Amino acid sequence: DKSHSNAAASPGGSPSSGKFGRPLLTLLINTKTKDEGENFLDYCYPAEDQDLQAVLPMKGVFLASCGVMRAAVGQEVLFFLFWSVDRKRQYKVALQELENWILCVVLPGSVTDCLARFFVQEAAGLVVLRHGCLANLQGHFKQLDPIFRSLGA
């Protein structure tokens, strides 16, 4: 059983899910060691969304926080709460490790931990149900779009 861990930061962007009046924002961050300057964001949805573009600078913080928590206390980060740069919006990111990736689902900060956990677990479950594992996609992550589109509807 994993404990709830929260991390906080301030940069960011905008919220998320169609259930909340916006598209579900999703990031898939590769946890394998990369060369300096190499992009570790393998996928994001919806890629053209302005809110997502505002959240993308936080991807390194999400990845680093997961590693620090695992090393420091041996637990996974389940949620990450942060404010937009203008401090007008708060966001909650639900995180789940999935093979060599961290699946990040970005929701409004007002969403309960239970609901945020539901979204990320459903997303992970649908990925496994439809594709078996992420490695089967061989880098063609756009095949995940229908899953995140349906979760955000």
Instruction: State pLDDT tens for residues 76-118.
Output: 889 989 988 888 888 899 999 999 999 999 999 999 999 999 9
- Sign of torsion over alpha carbons 63, 98, 26, 31: positive
List C-alpha distances in Å: 80 to 58, 139, 146. Answer: 10, 26, 25
**Band of pLDDT at residue 20, cut at 50, 70 and 90:** low
Structural contact between residues 41 and 29, judged by C-beta atoms closer than 8 angstroms: yes
Question: Which pLDDT value is given to residue 84?
Answer: 82
Mean pLDDT along residues 48-65: 88
Question: Which pLDDT value is given to residue 71?
Answer: 85
Q: Is the pTM of this model over 0.85?
A: no
Structural contact between residues 107 and 17, judged by C-beta atoms closer than 8 angstroms: yes
Question: Which pLDDT value is given to residue 85?
Answer: 81
Question: Which pLDDT value is given to residue 9?
Answer: 35
Question: Which pLDDT value is given to residue 118?
Answer: 95
pLDDT over 80 at 56, yes or no? yes
